[in-house]
Amino acid sequence: MKVRGLMFDPYNNAYIIILRGEENTDVLPIWVGRPEANAISLALEGIFTPRPMTHDLIKSVLDTADAKIISIVVTELKENTYLSKIHLTYQDSEFTIDSRPSDAIALALRADVPIFVAEEAIKKPSSEELDRWLENLRPEDFGKYDT
């Protein structure tokens, strides 16, 4: 999936990351806090800050240690919270690290690696309210990230 939008949700005073499948059929909105939305937005815009932000630091620690992020997967929805895993290789071994999707996405964008979503995470029956909201979203709402 790719990050297709980043919006502000005034009702919850939070930000929403919109992930969209390659065929534009599956849409996954993920609510995140401001620091995470900021981190993701900086990566999307290709903006480099004068000093390394937290996700830049994580990336740079991994680079210095010669560890490589291979991909991230948003795995499941548990009690309204998405879980996610970061796959990496280090010294000929593979590791899987539990993380929040926001952090995983922020890192995936910096490492330029694929973002996957597990079937279970998409197929979860969403509430009617969410369906209506999604149906009402106009292409413009997705911001400039929609191609």
Which residues, 6 or more positions from 71, have their beta carbon under 8 angstroms from its beta carbon? 87, 108, 113, 114, 115, 116
Among 12, 13, 25, 64, binds another protein (CB under 8 A): 64
Please report how close the Cβ of residue 65 comes to another protein at its closest, in angstroms: 6
Strands (E), the chain: 2-9, 14-20, 27-32, 68-78, 81-90, 93-99, 115-117
Does 90 bind another protein (CB under 8 A)? Our answer is yes
Using the contact rule CB under 8 A, the part of the chain among 9-17, 62-70, 116-124, 134-142 near another protein is: 62-70
* Joined tokens for residue 83: 């879980």
Does 68 bind another protein (CB under 8 A)? Our answer is no
Nearer to another protein, 18 or 62 (CB): 62
Does 98 bind another protein (CB under 8 A)? Our answer is yes
Q: Which amino acid makes up residue 50?
A: P
Tokens 């930000």, residue? Answer: 15
Residue ranges that bind another protein, judged by CB under 8 A: 34-36, 38-39, 50-55, 57-58, 60-62, 64-65, 67, 81, 83, 90-91, 95, 97-100, 103
